Structure 1
């Protein structure tokens, strides 16, 4: 069933076309990805679809009663309500139904109404119908569902009473996404939903969206996310949209084949045109062949001549080099604690990085990954411990917030002021490689988009020729094509890299080692992201099976741990496994009890609707008391189950 159609949509800004006769179809349960370079018009198309702006031409058609939910880029909730109360606004209809059920139960137990058999029976029938409706629509599960979604978005029960206006911008965006998921619109439209999400939350979101009952239209620069989720890709390029069936990888293959086919068809037609033109020129003046030549000329005039296939869009071109080679030991941290005076984030951080390594730093949001990088480059001071660079190490830092950029400077002078000995044409050449040409270089940095500022920061990083790159979310704000160029540049880089990223495809391409940041140290994994996930899953399987051996990563095996520390770790691991087994058993007990209570509640509500019960005042009171008791137990069980899942 078609839920949504965009028909011949055109839109221009200041006489520059952004969309030209664009068509798009979204059907039930489709998972659609919209891709294109930054500035192609993806967000504009989403805003037209959702009615935020009007098209110059064309129309949006929507199936009757179809609901749309839209999460714009970097949008967040803005209210003084608490997290829990804001989520509960989604379920006002359930709250109203619950209040109505309580009111009806009081009426059912009223002796005056019981005495009137006709009125009592009518009320019981209405009550029975409302109970069935409440149950079918999820009235008994909505609070548990809310806890589950909040947990997936990294909000826990201790956060529920926090006013939303006290949260960070990223937290507000995650809450806006959580609320939209709870609303379950027929068409869920998400513009860069993976911003501000750590890897664990991204994994949860992917699984949730795979089972989402409605259709999905998503703009994302996360290739891993698109490959895992979408089954249709629309590419927006040069104001036009092209549809491909499959995920992002399938789209790349199909696009390459399509372009090659267009080139072959064009060349074949051009060869045919040349052959006909040559025949006409050779034979038009000869009496014996002039009619044939005229016929061929008419054939040429009637021919639908193909336009020459457009080449690839201009892409950034850059590479990273070094001025000199560092020593083998590049960076050493010994028992470092990071954070702020009243808020330590992580401690006992000890690790080494050697020349040529590409080390990814992973961990949940809020644990201090960016803080650690800023501490390493001396923008923050460690709370304790030592940080030491090796010989000839020249570090350079890419800050995801681009705080080092001056918003009042022109793009040209942002680079030229730091490298005044360069000639202007050379600075312009560098900026041209990062897609700043002509008057673009005279724009103020503060007027640039997030992707443009990221390219300016990368240009400055390239000119520094450092032999240690420390990168904080370098792929943020970059489109898929710019990410590929950055990946290629870093793969060929002869120095050492320490980076933070939640882009799993980027992690797999670049990382040779993963450092997992925990509140009490780091765990090292010698491999890329896939290897890290594989080892984590092995560890979880061993823990759930309550196996005794202590699992060590390669880096840990290199360390000369003393016998006593091994014994202590074995004891702690054994205690942790015991606690995990107890937790799993309790979860199973609660799930069984929750199922029993829900069945019992449904059974009691059915009994209350029977004439032999609702006509007996004492039975009604008894049943209502029992019903309230079981509902209270159910609520307690659901709450404990939610806490144990965290």
Structure 2
């Protein structure tokens, strides 16, 4: 069993409260989904549950964490730079506890995830040379080989191809382990979660709020909508009743005050003064009642961003024209992209989709007449994490940058944080802001929706749908793939083909 009692987590940098008086209890074999908008403290909470020392350098915390699990495995949202520099074999075997490491199960999971075990034989292969999906698979293989009783996963669906995602869904549903995971994939959450913890930052992102629900995601959404609707109706009714009382009070107050000014009779004046005292007392009661009436439910604001003032390329302008282009990955690619084409590339993990995108980026950024924006799969490839958001967007007018960041729900404090303190979703928002501010007419997007919440994802899809330039996108996001925004291409072992799906 896992118990959290009266947990408070506060950011050391600006004393911002992320978690306030959180108390939850999770039974054995429970499957808890932690959900919420970008930057609400989900990853910080998961790290705390894995090992409180993981957040000591940037957060202070108070409360009680009770766990009787013998083995805990934590898989973060991304590997740190020291891990990425490791050889694959060193990462798996160097610190392996032979007494507890189940080699048979390790290779069983590898097979189920369609992981290329030949990679394990390459002595000098670094983790940084693997795709995002391969990195996640190797972490899952290693973690599960120890048969942990508690498994903590930070966005495990973000980099997995569809077959691996199906396996993960099946594994979590049937697993006897207690599993706590963060995800923005609504379909995945609905399939596997048995309870929901929803983290929010309301009142201009200053007040942390947590809702725990034991049940499915679909039931949680329905119950929350029902509860919020009832609260809104009650708040409306009570506010209307209070307004009537205030109007009545004002009428009496103005009448008594007018009579006081006009009376010259001392006896009548004393009576009116007593009446005014009663009126003042009633005014104080109204003020007190105003504090006690039901308030509208606190909810987070949605991000607001759109492309404007871009100069779209001509529809027939060819910006990329590959005919049997041979890549260093061994694939031969034929692909033509025109000025307002929007294509999305799908494919299994490990087929070098990101390397294909890097190749396209290298070619397009060298061309004149194009304003190319590139959102890589691993943000640190294009984002210096020591910079602040203001620094990253520093080649634009400061006030304009602040306005855009505010529309993306950044607080005044957050725009001065170093980027390594931001969540994955907040970093993704920085790339969106840069695309808009740069007035880009070509977007290269490697897994653009992976860190956006279910509330933000429709906004991102609408943004891409309304964009007037060219988009080349890589994604495993089912909703993005099934949308009508893109023409679909599939990367195979040796070539790229155009495909269609039922939508």
Using structure 1 for the length normalisation, give the TM-score. Answer: 0.60
| Match in the other structure for 2:323 | 334
CA distance in 1, matches of 2:403, 2:173: 45
Name the residue aligned to 2:436: 462
Match of 1:205 in 2: 168
1:191 alignment counterpart: 154
Answer whether contact 1:224 1:505 (CA < 8 A) is retained: no
How far is 1:35 from its partner? 0.9
Report the counterpart of residue 622 of structure 1 in structure 2: none
Residue 493 of structure 2 is aligned to residue 519 of structure 1: yes
1:315 aligns with 2:302: yes
Is the 1:512–1:526 Cα contact (8 Å) retained in structure 2?
A: no
How far did 1:516 drift? 0.8
Deviations 1:526-550 (A, max 9, x none): 34xx65xxxxxxxxxxxxxxxxxxx
Contact residue 75 and residue 139 of structure 2 kept, 8 A: yes
Q: Who is 1:42 aligned against?
A: 42
> In the alignment, what sits opposite 1:145?
105
Conserved? CA contact 2:340–2:468, under 8 Å: yes
* Greater mean alpha carbon deviation, residues 509-518 or residues 165-174: 165-174
In structure 2, the CA distance between the partners of 1:143 and 1:409, relative to structure 1 (3 Å rule), is closer
Cα distance, 1:29–1:510 mapped onto 2, change above 3 Å: farther
The secondary structure found in structure 1 opposite 2:181 is strand
Alpha carbons of 1:296 and 1:437: their partners in 2 closer, same or farther (altered >3 Å)? closer
The residue correspondences of 1:426-445 to structure 2 (distance < 5 A) are 426-436=400-410, 438=412, 440-442=414-416
Which of residues 376, 383, 388 in structure 1 aligns to 2:360? 376
- Alignment map for 1:567-582 (pairs within 5 Å): none
Q: 1:70 aligns with which of 71, 74, 82?
A: 74
Contact 1:428 1:437 in 2 (8 A): no
Residues 1:305 and 1:45: Cα distance change in structure 2 (over 3 Å) = same
Q: Is the 8 A contact 1:355 1:496 kept in 2?
A: yes
Counterpart position of 1:129: none
Distance in 2, Cα, partners of 1:299 & 1:430: 40
Task: Give the whole-Å Cα distance in 2 for the aligned partners of 1:44 and 1:411.
Answer: 20
- Relative to structure 1, the CA distance from residue 355 to residue 81 in structure 2 (aligned partners, 3 Å threshold; closer, same or farther) is closer
Which residue in 2 is equivalent to 1:397? 374
- Give the aligned partner of residue 29 of structure 2: 29
* 1:471–1:187 CA distance, 2 compared to 1 (3 A): same
- Answer whether contact 1:224 1:503 (CA < 8 A) is retained: no
Return the match for 2:393 from 401, 411, 415.
Answer: 415
Looking at both structures, which has the greater relative contact order when contacts are Cα pairs under 8 Å and sequence separation is at least 6? 2
Structure 2 counterparts to residues 233-252 of structure 1, below 5 A:
233-238=196-201, 239-244=208-213, 247-248=216-217, 250-252=219-221
Q: Secondary structure at the match of 2:140?
A: helix
Displacement of 1:231 in angstroms is: 3.3
Structure-2 residue corresponding to 1:59: 64
Q: 1:523 to 1:430 in 2, by over 3 A?
A: same
Shift of 1:24: 1.7
Q: SS in structure 2 opposite 1:183?
A: coil
- 1:345 equivalenced with 2:330 (yes/no): yes
Question: Does the aligned pair in 1 maintain the 2:312–2:469 contact within 8 Å?
Answer: no
Which sits farther off after the overlay, 402-411 or 18-27?
Answer: 402-411
Where 2:331 maps in the other structure, the secondary structure is strand
Q: In the aligned structure 1, how far is the partner of 2:286 from the partner of 2:437?
A: 58
| Cα deviation, residue 248, structure 1 | 4.4
Cα distance change, pair 51–468 in 1 and its aligned pair in 2 (3 A)? closer
Q: Is the 8 A contact 2:200 2:299 kept in 1?
A: no
- Name the CA shift for 1:237/1:306 in 2 (closer, same or farther; >3 Å): farther
The alignment yields a C-alpha RMSD, in angstroms, of 4.3
Q: State the Cα distance separating 1:235 from its structure 2 match.
A: 0.4
- 1:298: how far off? 8.2
Q: CA deviation at 1:75?
A: 4.2
Following superposition, the deviation at residue 360 of structure 1 comes to 1.2
Whether the 8 Å contact between 2:19 and 2:41 is mirrored in structure 1 is: yes
- Specify the SS of the correspondent of 2:45: helix
Which residue matches 2:8?
Answer: 10
Could you say which structure has the higher helix fraction? 1
3-state SS of the aligned residue for 2:350? coil
Native 8 Å contact 1:152 1:205 kept in 2: no
Larger Rg: 1
Partner of 1:230: 193
SS at match of 1:60: strand
- Please tell me whether the aligned partners of residues 20 and 240 of structure 1 are also in contact (alpha carbons under 8 angstroms): yes
Q: Which residue of 2 aligns with 1:92?
A: 99
Counterpart of 2:498 in 1: which secondary structure? strand
Distance 2:215 2:194 in 1: 4
Count the aligned residue pairs: 461
Q: Is the 8 A contact 1:36 1:237 kept in 2?
A: yes
- Asked whether the 8 Å contact 2:342–2:486 carries over to 1, the reply is yes
- Contact 2:307 2:439 (C-alpha < 8 Å) held by counterparts: yes
Q: Which runs of 5+ in 2 are unaligned?
A: 202-207, 257-270
Shift in alpha-carbon separation, 1:158–1:378, aligned structure 2, 3 A: closer
Deviation at 1:498, TM superposition (A): 1.6
Q: Is the 8 A contact 2:312 2:340 kept in 1?
A: no
Give the match for residue 124 of structure 1.
Answer: none
Cα gap change, 1:489 to 1:38, in 2 (>3 Å):
same
